[in-house]
């Protein structure tokens, strides 16, 4: 039976993102949380392996106390254990320290793991760095952007879509895989699952001390990444309204924008100008 660790993250719900229009930043304290879509797919991949050949699934996340919600959700979906890594000293970690903390947890608590699954990238920061960095910290091989996993006894066969072809790779275990957003459509959660998850609501909570991090460890200060600016992209399109009789407007449209429209259509409109239909 495979020992699988799935790294999941709570991200702000896309449909309810409260943006501060003046500063262009996200008001995180107002945002409803949800399980990041790519990590939910990583969990789905683990659940399918569990259903097909049996596995023990540990879902782990790092975040504030409210992130427990996605651990309950993971348990409701079928994860065996939920672990929350939380500490004021771990808040503000960049991807580098996040990978470091996750690796510490795995090394201390799940030494005999076979497979680590992550989403390819999270919907809130899109760096795609934590998975590969975590593999590096654990000194294990990794495959990114995987869409299909076939687990064997001591290895996995992973398929991914690259440009216009599929690539199939074999990897010895232990190893790490990040799951692509296009794969493993997550199942809906049955209401019975939610009720059951809260009947046995045990979530393991682990702080910096339990992870053996130095007393001086402070993620916010120690993170090498510095965010210089966060802003919403703005479009610079100029809108023009052509007014007047239809024929005049159409002529004007083609005179002024014929080239642009023609190139978008892949036609030289001038040569078609007098075609009779």
Partner 1 sequence: MDFNPCMKHQLIRKTVREFVESEIKPHVALMDKESRFPWEIIEKMKPLNFFGLQVPRIYGGADLDTISYAITIEELSRVSAALGLCVTVHNSVGIFPILKFGTPEQKKRFVPEMAKGDSIGAFCLTEANAGSDAGGVETNAVETQDAFILNGTKIFVTNGGVCGTILVFAISEGKDKRNHASVFIVEKDRPGFSVGEIEDLCGMRANPVSSLFFEDCKVPKTNLLGRMGQGMKIGLTALDTGRIGIAAQALGIAQAAFESSVSYAKERQQFNKPLSKFQTIQNYLADMATKIDASRLLVYRAAACKDKGKAFSAEASMAKLYCSSTAMEVTGLAVQIHGGYGYSKEYDVERYFRDAKVTQIYEGTSEVQKMVIARAILSKPS
**Contact residues for partner 1, defined by CB under 8 A:** 15, 32, 34, 68-69, 72-73, 76, 188-192, 194-195, 198
CA distance 62 to 84: 6
The alpha-carbon radius of gyration of the chain (Å, integer) is 25
Report the run of H or E that residue 33 belongs to, with start and end.
Answer: strand 33-35
Q: Least distance in Å: CB of 69 to partner 1? A: 5
Phi-psi region of 24 (alpha: psi -120 to 50; beta: other; left: phi over 0): left
- 17 or 189, CB closer to partner 1? 189
The token pair at 21 is 């229009």
- 72 or 89, CB closer to partner 1? 72
Contact 11, 63 (CB under 8 A): no
- 39 or 98, CB closer to partner 1? 39
Q: Least distance in Å: CB of 235 to partner 1? A: 18
The stretches of 166-276 forming alpha helices (DSSP H) are 191-199, 219-222, 246-265
The residues near 244 (Cβ < 8 Å, ≥ 6 apart) are: 252
Q: Least distance in Å: CB of 37 to partner 1? A: 11
- 69 or 109, CB closer to partner 1? 69
Closest listed residue to residue 7, CA positions, set 37, 43, 55, 48: 43
CA distance 234 to 33: 26
Q: Least distance in Å: CB of 44 to partner 1? A: 14
Helix axis angle for 130-138 and 95-109, nearest 10°, is: 40
Q: Least distance in Å: CB of 38 to partner 1? A: 16
Q: Least distance in Å: CB of 190 to partner 1? A: 5
The token pair at 215 is 């007393």
- The SS3 call for residue 197 is helix
- 76 or 219, CB closer to partner 1? 76
Q: Least distance in Å: CB of 189 to partner 1? A: 5
- 192 or 214, CB closer to partner 1? 192
- 32 or 167, CB closer to partner 1? 32
């Amino acid at each position: 039976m495979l020992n699988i660790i799935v790294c999941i993250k709570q991200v702000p719900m896309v449909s309810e993102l409260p943006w501060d229009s003046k500063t262009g930043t996200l008001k995180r304290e107002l945002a409803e949380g949800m399980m990041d879509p790519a990590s939910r797919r990583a969990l789905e991949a683990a659940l399918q392996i569990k259903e097909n050949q049996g596995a023990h699934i540990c879902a782990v996340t790092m975040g504030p106390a409210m992130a427990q919600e996605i651990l309950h959700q993971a348990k409701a979906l079928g994860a065996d254990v939920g672990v929350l890594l939380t500490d004021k000293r771990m808040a503000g970690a960049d991807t580098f320290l996040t990978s470091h903390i996750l690796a510490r947890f795995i090394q201390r608590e799940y030494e005999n793991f076979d497979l680590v699954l992550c989403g390819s990238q999270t919907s809130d920061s899109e760096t795609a760095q934590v998975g590969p960095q975590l593999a590096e910290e654990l000194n294990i091989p990794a495959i990114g952007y995987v869409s299909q996993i076939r687990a064997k006894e001591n290895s996995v066969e992973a398929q991914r879509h690259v440009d216009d072809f599929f690539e199939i790779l074999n990897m010895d275990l232990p190893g790490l895989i990040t799951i692509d957003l296009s794969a493993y459509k997550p199942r809906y959660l049955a209401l019975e699952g939610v009720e059951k998850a809260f009947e046995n609501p045990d979530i393991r909570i682990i702080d910096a001390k339990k992870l053996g991090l130095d007393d001086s460890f402070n993620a916010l200060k120690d993170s090498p990444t510095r965010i210089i600016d966060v802003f919403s992209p703005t479009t610079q399109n100029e809108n023009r309204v052509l007014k007047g009789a239809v024929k005049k407007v159409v002529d004007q449209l083609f005179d002024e924008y014929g080239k642009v429209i023609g190139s978008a259509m892949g036609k030289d409109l001038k040569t078609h100008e007098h075609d009779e239909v």
